[in-house]
Structure 1
Amino acid sequence: MLVLTVLFLYGGSALAVSKLPDKILYDVNQAETLFDQFMQTYDKQYTSKEEKQKKLNVFKENLQIINEKNAEQSLAVFGITQFIDLTAEEFRQFATCLNTTINDKKCKQYQYTDLPTAPDSFDWREKNVVTRVKSQGGCGSCWAFSAIGNVESVYAIKHKKQIELSEQQLVDCDQTNKGCDGGIMSRAIQYLEKAGAMLERDYQYVGKQQRCQYNGQQVKVKVSDCREYTASFESEDDLRNILANTAPLSIGLDASDIQHYTGGILTCKTTQPNHGVLLVGYGVEKDKPFWTFKNSWGPNHGEEGYFRLLRGVNSCGMLKHQIVSSVVE
């Protein structure tokens, strides 16, 4: 299935690729053909011939990296994504939207020791409380998408219906965070405690910071609390219990290894978090436990906008940053 998805990206043609079990082995000698297809698929335009050549060179290097990653990791699949024309450093700069330099006013610490034992697998999407995958574009606003995703789900759990709230309100109006230059989810939820959340349709996302257009008369959701669970568990099993018994959780991790991810269960280095996402579920596939995350890079990245990490090993440093949630009225 993953192989067919990648091939469909280029009109169903297997040109310049050779199949491996659930993998694609890219022929670097056919890089120019693949690059032209990539430009067409993602509507990429470059300002000069020199820039295009530079991006082609990066593309070739990344094809080789993808082949190496597919050989190294047996559980994950890597391929051509919208980020393949970025160097690792350029992608790191893009992905770094979790701004840990911001003074973190801690949310209330919650200790849950008497929660029911969670089932072996659980996914909040099956409860119809997770809204569609959105795209942050070129703005470093992952923190806003993570926080709003949490509030949307908490609202849906309580009121039995989905609504879409405005990330742009946070980007423009939350002065404790830094708009497209990054932020942290706890501060975003604390802002919403004071201001409330407007609907997406009333304050639409534009992918850049602009003048605040907050309208208190259009507030749809009132947030009454911000809760932090980081100190509530000694193992990822405890986090599993919290997730299944509360709501999807805002969480930070290092997204550097997700650049070329197209599916499967990823293992990655345990480093400092730089990206905010929404933890929505967990499970086991072929005896391998995993976490499922909702991302904000659009529905065409990863597994329809989601990605999975190996569970139980602090993948991508997911336990190194705050894990927070909201309470809504």
Structure 2
Amino acid sequence: MKTIRLVALAAIGLLALSVAHAQKSGPSKTAPAPQLQTWMSPEVADAWKQGYKGSGVTVTVVDDFRSNQGLYGNLGQGTQLLRHGEWTLKEASMIAPSATMRAHDFNSGTSVGLSRGLNVLNLSYGMYAPAGYTASQIGWSSQESSIISHAQNGKAVISKAAGNDAIVIGSANASGQVDYLNLALKGAQSAIYVGALNTNGTTSAPASLASYSNTPGADAVVQQQFVVVGVDGAKTGLYGTSFAAPIISGYAAILGSKFTKSTPTQIANQLLKTARQDTISGYNPATHGRGEASITRALAPVSIQ
């Protein structure tokens, strides 16, 4: 197997700033009642009202938790300066407030372990190297090897940020770099690629694809694994598919708290097949994949397969 140098990059399109006071990640001992924020889909509140908030599900966020780089943003709790991973973990935890949240630094290189019950892995980063290789030629670290294995074997729901180069997944960006982690997850049974809309769509006000979001392109396999959600950076100050993936991670946790005996593959498939197209302006599978994820539609049946 050919080993090439991979660089892990968070899937954001913002300039990182120095972190003055980093907050610790992880669940709070006293969880306040969740509040629907303006950046969330109103469907989230409907799920909470039904009693589904992610209980019994573990969400592991593989991201930057150790660097001295951060971003200013506001998810409805006041402006804060946090590391990229602290933001993505916070976002997923606000969607699924009863889920167990775990932080795994993406530069650790160590295997990502799984907990009892349903596991969801949030990947708001990519592994980049020059174009010209296949995913099988990459000498993966134990971290990415474990993630890819979990996805291929259906051991965890994988929510992967599609990327912010405004290109088709798997193609080279303007710098000639390819996200090989995206390539490695193609066809994996429990992996979802997540693109970004500019806001949450409705039938009366359909949303458009965010200008930076990568797309599935003509590949039918990638299209079947691809959904979009609204990333309202005008409200949060946070832009990028980095902040689309945690929404799907939260949705997967919510779904798992209802369908407690379902497998990660069943949860992933339910989110994909219940996505809607009528809330997207000019819906096209090559651009939007399966459509905009709908937690209400995903929760609707009595059981899933």
Q: Same fold by TM-score, threshold 0.5 exceeded?
A: no
TM-score, with structure 1 as normaliser: 0.24
Greater share of helix residues, 1 or 2?
1
